[in-house]
Structure 1
């Protein structure tokens, strides 16, 4: 059986990761591929429990290292029960956030060492790494405005949305730096403009990077 592919979507708050992931999933299904969509933190029942702890801010008071360990724990369960089995049976897995988010949020902004991040990645996801990362990029203030509209008027911001503007500007810089440091894996995609235009950029990047085609015909 041919091994599947693993594609991750990364970027700051409100850049449209979930929307573009759904659109790419729909196109891939039209081509005849089995597609599994998932997210982090979370993605499996046990990991979703830890997601609630992380996004509520309950873990913040323990510091970024403890937060990172919780994320790694959730990731280990997610990889073992969702991501790895899907890849092994030949599916294309599309994941909203993965290790790059940990590198950006807890690493670049939280000060967790690169050595510890690498170690936890190896423990939580041995042998599992993205074939392609779609790094969606937009000005931080516009992304935050989208996130607030999505949540609804009067909604309580989650642990990360609640950070100040300077945090989100630095976060954007961190994601861009990751994309530029690993161009063989990451495609930096302009997330501004109409949803359909961004979707076309994402599809073009995925098609060219992964060599996607009609599964049934090989065309």
Structure 2
């Protein structure tokens, strides 16, 4: 069994990658999270792009543990906010990871923006870094528009205010399997699947 570290403590992200590997019939890989390896200093996310942040996290994790490491950086880009919050999505309201405050701030900033100009996209860059230095970076995008009020209890972050293009339900109203199929993170992680398969084949 090949152990691959997903550089996160987010249980939902771990479950998502495990579901995707199962759906793609990838055997022989055990996904572990940061809570399952010895602690190491994690560099702050200071990159200007999702790709830079994902690579930095994966490099740190591979170097510290000697395991192949996957890391992602994702966020919401809003057309009416000139592409922000972008890489600042998790700390848009000032404190890292305060989903409710971040979501409320974005809704407040868009209060006067008409429905037809509320286009947005979720973006995810995912990086796979191998202990021997091999690196792969992929990108997934999920386009849609923002609601005026949160709806739904599945998901996290900005999911309750994001309606995917062509849909009527928010990302937080979708079943996990539906979200895996369409989401930015699902798209990016699926692009890594051939590279993860190659680890098992050696």
Flag whether TM exceeds 0.5 (same fold).
no
Bigger relative contact order, structure 1 or 2 (CA pairs below 8 A, ≥6 apart): 1
Q: Higher strand share goes to which structure?
A: 2
Which TM-score band applies after superposition, normalised by the shorter structure?
Answer: 0.3 to 0.5
- TM-score calculated relative to the size of structure 1: 0.33
- TM-score calculated relative to the size of structure 2: 0.35
